[in-house]
Amino acid sequence: AQDPPQVSQGAIAELAEGTRAVAQGNLEQHIEGEGDDEVGTLVTSFNAMTQDLKTSRDELEDRRRYLEIVLGNISAGVISTDPAGRITMLNPAAAALLGVARRDGLGRALVDVFPPAARGAVTQMVAELLDGARETAQTTVVERQLELGSEATHSAVLVTGTPLGDDNGKVEGVVLFLEDVTHLLRV
C-alpha cells in the first residue's frame, strides 16, 4: 500500500491567506511552489487567476480613464443617474451649464441641480423616460428645451434623455445630454 501524498501545510496556508488578500482587493498575490501535485496545480491556478484578475482590472481602469477624458472634453453636457434618480456622473460641460461644481452634483437628486423653474420639466421628462422604458423594449428618447440661468446668464438648453438599461433590459437610471442652443435661437 502506498502512503497518501504529503500536502504542504505551508502552501495551503499561503493559498488561504492569498485568497483572503484577493477578496480584499489585493491582486498582487503570487504564491511560490507551483508543481505537478494537487497543491502545485492549485497554486498554479491561483497565480493564473490573480494575474487574469489584475489584467482585467487594469483594462477596466484604462477604459474608465478614457471615458472620463472623452466626457471631459466634449462640449455637450452629460449626466447619468442611478435608479433612484441620484447623479452618478456629471461631466464638466453639464456642470458648467447648470452652474454647479461636479463634486457637489454627484450623489444629489437629478432635479436638485436644475434651476427651480426647470425642475418640473425635468421631473416630467424622467417620468416619461422611465414609463416608456417599462412599456416598450425599444429605447425611449425624450427631448425638451429648457431655459437655464438668470436673466444675465440666460441660456437655452436642448435636453435629450434616454433610459439607461442593463443587458437584461432592467432600467438602471437615465442619461441626459445637454446642448447649449442659445446661439441658434439668437439668429
Amino acid at 35: G
| pTM, entire model | 0.70
For residue 35, the model assigns a pLDDT of: 72
Cα–Cα distance, 99 to 157 (Å, whole number):
13
The percentage of the chain sitting over the pLDDT mark of 90, rounded to a whole number, equals 39
The more confident residue out of 166 and 150 is 166
Asked if pLDDT for residue 179 goes beyond 90, the answer is: yes
Asked if pLDDT for residue 7 goes beyond 60, the answer is: no
Place of cell 446642448: 179
Mean pLDDT of the 69-85 span: 89
For residue 14, the model assigns a pLDDT of: 87
Map residue 85 onto helix, strand or coil: coil
Q: In what order do the strands lie in the sheet with 142-148?
A: 87-90, 77-81, 171-180, 155-165, 142-148
For residue 4, the model assigns a pLDDT of: 45
Please classify residue 81 by burial: count the beta carbons closer than 10 Å to its beta carbon, then call 0-12 exposed, 13-18 middle and 19+ buried. Answer: buried
For residue 120, the model assigns a pLDDT of: 92
The dihedrals phi and psi of 108, each to the nearest 5 degrees, come to -80, 160
Place of cell 437629478: 110
The contacts of residue 82 (CB under 8 Å, 6+ apart) are 88, 172, 173
Long-range contacts of 53-61 (CB under 8 A, 24+ apart): 53/22, 53/27, 54/27, 54/28, 57/27
Q: What pLDDT, in 10s, does the model give residues 93-142?
A: 999 999 899 899 999 999 999 999 899 999 999 988 887 766 655 678 88
Asked if pLDDT for residue 87 goes beyond 60, the answer is: yes
For residue 161, the model assigns a pLDDT of: 93
Radius of gyration of the chain (CA): 26
